[in-house]
Amino acid sequence: MTNSLITPVGTEAVAGLLEIENQCFRNPWSKHHFTSAINSPQMHVWVYQQKISMAGYIVLYIIEDVLVIANLAVSPDHRRKGIGEDLLNYGLDLGRNQGCGSSILDVRQSNTTAVSLYKKANYIIIGNNKGYYKNPYEDSYVMGRKI
Ligand SMILES: CC(C)(COP(=O)(O)OP(=O)(O)OC[C@H]1O[C@@H](n2cnc3c(N)ncnc32)[C@H](O)[C@@H]1OP(=O)(O)O)[C@@H](O)C(=O)NCCC(=O)NCCS
């Protein structure tokens, strides 16, 4: 896509991240969650910048050789343009380049949109975490794939 860029961000991006986060989730990450993620040497926060606006982001970290997708969201104004897929593929490339052999994530069982995105990216359901989500209480699917 022209005039767009996936780039790591610093704490100056937290307000923009929160704006999208609050539009996307009923139990959103707080300012503290994003600040901690950005300041953590283990975590990667990448933003999809389109012209002057932030269109979406992905937050991930690596444990041993496993890439964990911790958060992924696209602003409602920018959906269905392949941005979620681009961010996910960007994360998978990063994991691959850092020697990861697999990737996992949790997703709300009712979040059919995200489940569909992950299935398209070759993740499969490998388990569930009971009561993983609050507000509303819900089990997650644990999804994973080799990378
Ligand atoms: C899930 C989300 C990140 C997808 O972002 P997006 O940029 O709109 O997705 P893309 O355009 O890259 O779509 C890629 C694939 O995802 C799936 N998908 C995306 N939106 C969908 C929808 N409304 N209904 C069904 N499938 C959908 C499709 O498989 C799609 O492939 P296709 O276009 O070939 O059909 C976005 O809807 C979002 O931010 N949702 C709220 C936050 C969230 O649920 N995050 C995931 C937490 S685990």
Average pLDDT over the chain, rounded to an integer? 96
Residue 117 Cβ < 6 Å to ligand 1: yes
Distance 39 CA to ligand 1 centre (A): 28
Other Cβ atoms within 10 Å of 78 Cβ, number: 18
- pLDDT, residue 2, reads 54
- pLDDT, residue 140, reads 98
- Spell out a b/e string for 7-35, using b for 16 or more CB atoms within 10 Å of the CB, else e: eebeeebbebbbebbeebeeebbeeebbe
Residue 145 Cβ < 6 Å to ligand 1: no
Mean pLDDT of 16-20: 98
Mean pLDDT of 46-71: 96
Mean pLDDT of 108-124: 98
- Among residues 103, 24, 8, the alpha carbon closest in space to that of 58 is found at 8
3-class SS of residue 16: helix
Testing ligand 1's pocket by substitution, the residue of 47, 48, 74, 88 carrying the most ligand atoms inside 8 A of its CB is 74
Would you say residue 135 has pLDDT above 60?
yes
* Atom 44 of ligand 1, nearest CA residue: 114
Model pLDDT for residues 70-90, shown as the tens digit of each residue: 999 999 999 999 999 999 999
Distance 30 CA to ligand 1 centre (A): 22
Work out which ligand 1 atom sits closest to the CA atom of 88. 12
Contact 131, 117 (CB under 8 A): no
Testing ligand 1's pocket by substitution, the residue of 116, 120, 125, 133 carrying the most ligand atoms inside 8 A of its CB is 116
- pLDDT, residue 92, reads 97
